[in-house]
Structure 1
Amino acid sequence: MKATRRQGRVSRTTVTETTAMDSIDRQDIAAAMDALGRRARAASAIVAAAPAATRDHALRTAAARLRETQADILAANAMDMDAAAEKGLSAAMLDRLMLNPARVDAIARGLEEIADRPDPLGTVLERWERPNGLRFEKVRVPLGVIGIIFESRPNVTADAGGLCLKSGNAAILRGGSESFHTARAILAALHAGLDAAGLPRDAIQMPSTTDRAAVGAMLTMTRWIDVVIPRGGKSLTGRVAAESRVPVIYHLDGICHVYLDRAADADKARRVTLNAKMRRTGICGAAETLLVHKDVVATLLPAVLADLFQAGCEIRGDAAVQALDARVQPATDTDWDTEYLDAILSVKVVDDVDAAIEHIARHGSHHTDSIVTEDDTAAARFLSRVDSGIVLHNASTQFADGGEFGFGAEIGISTGKLHARGPVGAEQLTSYKYVVRGDGHTRP
């Protein structure tokens, strides 16, 4: 199969949506979503007031339920996989969708890790007293109701629902049609956890339709939804940017870079590059472009390319890279701006660390970028000047994951700068309010 054909099918921008999968008629979707939002708002007040132990009990029970119902979840996933294969989804996209016992257990462990995290609510961020005796506290509180719109990856159902619950928020989850049955099976486990803890099931809801009109409704539900988080391809994020009247935390493209500096250790460079690209090619933290200092093109790059070719990666390079190996395909201007989500890597030779920083600024997506070097000065320059949510030194871009940050899980990697940036975990799903205490104070 040619890479160009794979790339055409890898795109997450076109998802064949069905009409309602339950009894919701298309004309009734707006009303149904409004009712769902109303219930979510009521549930959010209950969850916000629930003790941390109650919320954690719900999470741990949901994790146990996931393991107990693993067979049901895998059966639902098999239905989704069959339908996705019939649609012609690529191997990378099928890998994102596919569950097996190990992945179900990892989802359950993620919920347990979320439960193990400190309670983010009620934390006093700052405390001070004014000369007039007024005492001020800045206290962490939930956002309220969070709408999460995502594609394909069924684990997001548990991650998003669990993180919202941990942070005292209610969640409205709208997954893609590819993962509909799997997501519903995972939602059942989350509801079992809520039941066990005496919390309302309305705290984590999912529209019972795959019709895109449900997305449109969510984007205008300013009365009920406090923030929307889209997690998907350019079509989804573009639509949200154009239509949403609700504040948005964006999870945009993962055009991630690895830069091999002139002072890169050869073994680290090989290991980091191979892992960053090939560990899992279909995730947002996978490297899509490799930048190489001109001084190590002859000494280091051939071994790096050999590792990638052996792992089944297609290389698209500039003239200097093509000269090293006849298997390298010519890179076009489009390649530097492409999130392949496949076993394809674009490779470019640059003059120095500043040229690498400039390339990333022009073509990157402010997601995750890494430098491999033993030169602390070059590393410091890269880490301070690359304007991305995550920057790494001598480490793979595939660490762009809330679990690897110790957050238990994440809803996405925020590529914006307002409110949250980088992995969005439970703490990032909170805001704050000011609590002021006086003793009959009046303002003169």
Structure 2
Amino acid sequence: MSMIDDSARVEIRRGLRVAALFFIGLLGGASMMPLDAGVYARGAVIVSGKRQAVQNRDGGIVTALRAVEGQKVARGQVLLEIASADLHALERGMTAELMMLFAQRERLLAERDRRSVMAEPVEFRALPAADRVLAEDALRGQRLLLAARLRTAQTEKAVWMRRAHANAEQIGGFGEQIVANRRQRALLDDELTGMRVIAAKGFASINRIRALERTQAALDGEHGALGAQILQTRDAIGEAELSAAGVDRRQIEEVEGSLRDLLVRMNELQPKLLAAREQLARSMVRAPVAGTIVGPTIYTIGGVVSPGQTLMEIVPDRRALVIEVQVSPDDADDMRPGQTTQVRFTGFHDRAMPALDARIDTVSADSFTEERTGNRFFRAEASLLPESYRTLVALKGPGALTPGMPAEILVPLRKRSALDYLIGPLKESLWRGGREA
């Protein structure tokens, strides 16, 4: 019996030694096995600077589609058109009015300066063909109006001057009558003197003398009337000459008033026309950059576009490809721009494909929310180092990396061993327990 107990104790001691050696070896191996701490995140390859969204601020009804999925487009190329018939009519109407105002301004300036020929507005020197037609129509009409107004003014002045000339001739007639009256008065005076001498001798009647005196008084009255008529006619001449001069004065006053009103209207119209042209230009939706069309949301003519709606996106040409990943908020504090990271492109499905070195370029200052899951994350971007990119090109070719390809990154943070991972939770529990006590 004692021999059995001794044998059992030997086996137990031997088992304890083996267990102790195993445990010591395990701890030693764990303390020496490197398991560095790091940040792991998933993401995808994107174009640096993001895709360029194509939008329209005003919205409307699609009248033409000029780009499809995957099509290469140049910067400024028309992608689609949005209905703008009313806006186009409004823009044409305002343009025609503005062309008329420019021409009218030159016509008024010509009238003010008493010129028979109006200059062409400086705004007409570099007009597009459609506007040039409107400008020429406006010029033609205003030139005809200028000629008509000048003829009217000249005719009115001529009427007043003819009236003044007629009055001057009438004054000449009155002067001749006065001269004739004076001669007649002189003769009458001589006759009356002789009659008075004869009457004093009794050879002439007193009635004859009184008749001659009445004729003399009538001549004196007619002479005074002729003088008054001359004065009135001279006043009429002055009024006619003043009226002739007033034609120019009134026309200048009218022109100055019209110019003021015209400039006010021009200042009101030009900003409205500029806004209408900008809105009309926006109805022709153009590519903001050269690239490839992706994700169009409008497929039919007649579709309704909401203001600000994303109509499609463009992947820009000749932009660098970067890796965008979503980082957990718990790990975001451990990531900083400039850190070195390792990238694996899981889309290659090639076990021989090594992890490639990259550099963290940006880390978002605030977190974002995933709309589908509601999870919060920080956004980071990393780019391959030049030597890693050359390795990728050598293994997979220059066009292997494409937008949308899935990728994983690992950012090494600090040296740790397997033992640190084993005893880390215990140390944290002891630390917390000590604080709570």
Structure 2 length-normalised TM = 0.18
More helix by share: 2
Q: Which has the higher Rg, Structure 1 or Structure 2?
A: 2
Q: RCO (CA 8 Å, sep 6+): is it higher in 1 or 2? A: 2
